[in-house]
Amino acid sequence: MHLILFLLFAGLCLAGAINLLLQSHPINSALSLIVVMTSLAVLYLLLGAEFLAAAQVIVYAGAVMVLFTFVIMLLNAGREEHTLGSRAARTVGFPAVAAILAILATVILHIQGLGTATMQDGITSTEDLSTILFTKLLLPFEVTSVLILIAILGAVALARRGDGDTERLAGK
């Protein structure tokens, strides 16, 4: 049962990712990305991480992707034109990507080895997750929130400056 679900949603995830690259219209690409995000949530659920799955749907498939589609709709972005791409990119690009991926994979495998993940009925409760988050992983957790705070401050600063400029221009 788990295996069937895994294959189904892993396939859906990959299909969405490939479709994301192939589609020429930005909104179709954005929708494919939503499919990818949602199938990832199901994969998390199969690993027993239910809170993570719900957060994935709410935050990524919900909020973030709504903003993406919102921006695409607001800019009224049209169909992209596919070019054949430069010859240099094709001759150098693909081998380079393969090489980088190979190096990354080797390094990660060398350090961590192939971990095992089991699909299971058991579910990590939200309580356990938060206990770990606030004891063992407190520092990374807080540092991440500071990072997000900095991003918010940056956004506010950028928006502020634009506002002030128009006011000054209007004053003149």
Partner 1 sequence: MNLLYFFIWSLLKVIVVTVVMLLGVAYTVLLERKLVGRIQNRWGPSRVGPFGLLQPLVDGAKSFLKEDIIPTAVDKPLYLLAPMIALGCALISIAVVPFGDPGIAVSGFRLFQISDVNIGLLVILGITSIGVYGVALAGWSSNNKYSLLGSLRSSAQLVSYELALGLSLVGVVLRAGSLNLRVIVESQASKGLLTWNIFGGLQIFAFFIYLMAAYAETNRSPFDLPEAESELTAGYHTEYSSMKFAMFFMAEYANMITVGCVATMLFLGGWTSPLGNLLPTPQNIVLRSLLPIFWFVLKVFSFLFLYVWVRGTLPRFRYDQLMNFGWRYLLPLAILNIVGTSLWLAYK
The region of 26-34, 110-118, 151-159, 160-168 touching partner 1 under the rule CB under 8 A is 26-34
Residues 72-91 that bind partner 1 (CB under 8 A): 73-74, 76
36 forms part of the interface with partner 1 (CB under 8 A): no
48 forms part of the interface with partner 1 (CB under 8 A): no
What residues contact 46, with CB distance under 8 A and at least 6 apart? 2, 5, 6, 9, 119
55 forms part of the interface with partner 1 (CB under 8 A): yes
**Minimum distance from CB of 112 to partner 1 (Å)?**
29
Q: How many residues bind partner 1 (CB under 8 A)?
A: 23
d(CA 31, CA 169): 40
Minimum CB distance to partner 1 smaller for 78 or for 113:
78
Per residue in 82-105, is it b (16+ CB within 10 Å) or e — as a string? eeeeeeeeeeeeeeeeeeeeeeee
Residue from 122, 120, 138, 118 nearest 130 by CA = 138
38 forms part of the interface with partner 1 (CB under 8 A): yes
Backbone angles phi, psi at 76, to 5 degrees: 50, 50
7 forms part of the interface with partner 1 (CB under 8 A): no
**CA angle, 2 as apex, 123 and 43 as ends, to 5°?**
65
The region of 71-79, 81-89, 114-122, 133-141 touching partner 1 under the rule CB under 8 A is 71-79
Interface with partner 1 (CB under 8 A): 27, 31, 34, 38, 50-51, 54-55, 57-58, 61-63, 66-67, 69-70, 73-74, 76, 123, 125-126
